[in-house]
Amino acid sequence: MFEGKAREMGLGSAADIALARARELAAVERAKLAEGLDPLVERAKAQAKQAAEAASTVTFESFARTYIDRRKAAWVNKKHRAQWLATLEAYAFPTIGKVSVADVDTGMVLELLNAIWVSKPETARRVRGRIETILDAARVEGKRTGENPARWRGHLQVLLPDPRKVRAVLHHASLGYAALPEFMAKLKAQPGEAARALRFAILTAARTGEIIGATWSEIDLEKREWRVPASRMKAKREHRVPLSPEAVAILKEQLALRKDEKIELSADHYVFGLPGQGLSNGAMLALLDRMGVRGTITTHGMRSTFRTWTAEQTAYPREIAEAALAHVNGDEVEAAYQRSDFFERRRKLMAEWSEFATSPTTEKPKRGKVISIGARNGK
C-alpha cells in the first residue's frame, strides 16, 4: 500500500530469481516504503538514469549511421541515399559527430549551420532537416529528451535568416550567351563522360541531378523525347524534354561507346556513367575545374544562360521558356488554367537553342599589315 492505494510490483520471473533472492528484493522495496518512497516510481527513475547513461555512450555520428542503414531501404533514389550520409559527413560530423546524441544542443547546431547558411543555403537547409530527423529518432528511442534543437518553426526560424530570401540573392555563375558557341567547341574537344554529360545538360537546359540520374528507360530516341519522372524532379511533376538532333547525337554516341565496351545495357542503366553507377555530383564541376573556368561558370548557371538567350534573342513568350526549365508557375490561379506543357513549341525552341550553341565560332578578322605614312612616303 502507498498513500492508501494498493500497488503491485513484480520482482522478476520465478524462473530467473530464486525464492531467497526474491525475499531480499522485497525487503529492499519495503524499506523504501518505510521511508515514504514509491518503489515503482523509484524503479522508473533508476531505469531512466540507466537509459541516459547508456545514451551518453552513443555519439551523434554512430546513431546517425545506424539510422541511415535502417532507413535507406525505403529510399528509392540511390543518389539520395548517398547524399544523406555525404552531407552529414561533410557538415555535421566534424562539429557534433563525437558528441553524445543526448547532448546535442542549439548552440552546436547553430555553429555548424552558420558556416554554410549563406554560402550554401540549399545544402544548409537539407543538413538542418536531416539533423532534426535523426534527433527526433533518438528521442523516440529514448536516447535523448526535450525539444529538438534543430527544429525550424518557432526555434531556428528566429535565429537564422529565411533560407528562401538568402537563396534569392545568390546566383550561380553563368556564361554570357554570346560566348557559348566558343565554350561548346572547347567542351566538345574534351574527352570523357563528364564532358558529354555537360554538353547534354546545356542542350536540354536540365539540372545536374536530372542529368546524372537519367536512365535509358526515360529516353525515347525514336520520338526524340526524354521523360524525367516526377520522383526525380524538383517540382515533383513529370517533365518531358524534347531532344534536338545535337542532343540525340550525344545519346547515340553513348550507345556506340557502350557497344564498343561490350556492355549490355538495360533500361535501368544510367545514360552517363557506368551501368549501376552514374556520374558523381561533382564530375561536371571537376571538368570545369580542369578547363580552368570553374568559379566563372557553373553547370546550373548554364540554365541562366539559356533563359537570358531566350529572352533577348527569341520571340518565344515567357511561359515557353519557363516550361523548358521545368519551373512551376507561382500564380496558383494561372497555373490552375494553364495545363499545357507547350511541348511542340518547346521542341522548336530547343532546336534553335542547340543550333545556336553548336554553331561554328566566328574567327577574329586578321589584322592587315600596318605601314606608317612616313615609310610609305620614303621617309
Selection from 278, 80, 303, 263 nearest residue 197 by Cα: 278
Q: What is the pLDDT of residue 374?
A: 52
Q: Which CATH entry fits the domain spanning 177-329+341-357: 1.10.540.10, 1.10.443.10, 3.40.50.720, 3.30.70.1230?
A: 1.10.443.10
* Parts of the chain belonging to CATH 1.10.150.130: 60-168
CB atoms near residue 272 (< 10 Å)? 22
Q: What is the pLDDT of residue 120?
A: 84
Q: What is the pLDDT of residue 157?
A: 92
Homologous superfamily of 60-168: Tyrosine recombinase, N-terminal domain (1.10.150.130)
Q: What is the pLDDT of residue 36?
A: 76
Cell of 65: 549511421
Q: Can you list the pairs that 116-121 forms with residues at least 24 positions away whose Cβ atoms lie under 8 Å?
A: 116/91, 117/160, 117/161, 117/163, 117/166, 118/161, 118/166, 118/170, 121/163, 121/166, 121/167, 121/170
CA distance 83 to 67: 14
CA distance 274 to 336: 41
CA distance 176 to 267: 37
pTM exceeding 0.75: no
182: Cβ contacts below 8 Å, ≥ 6 apart: 361
* Parts of the chain belonging to CATH 1.10.443.10: 177-329+341-357
Q: Could you read off the pLDDT tens digit of each residue along the chain, which spans 379 residues?
A: 877 788 788 887 888 888 888 888 888 888 877 777 878 788 877 777 666 665 557 899 999 999 998 887 777 666 677 788 889 999 999 999 999 999 999 999 999 999 889 888 888 999 999 999 999 999 999 888 999 999 999 999 999 988 777 654 445 566 888 999 999 999 999 999 999 999 999 999 999 889 999 999 999 999 999 999 988 888 788 999 999 999 999 999 999 988 888 878 788 899 998 777 778 878 888 898 898 887 778 888 888 899 999 999 999 988 899 999 988 654 443 444 344 568 899 999 999 999 999 988 654 444 444 445 554 444 4
Q: What is the pLDDT of residue 345?
A: 92
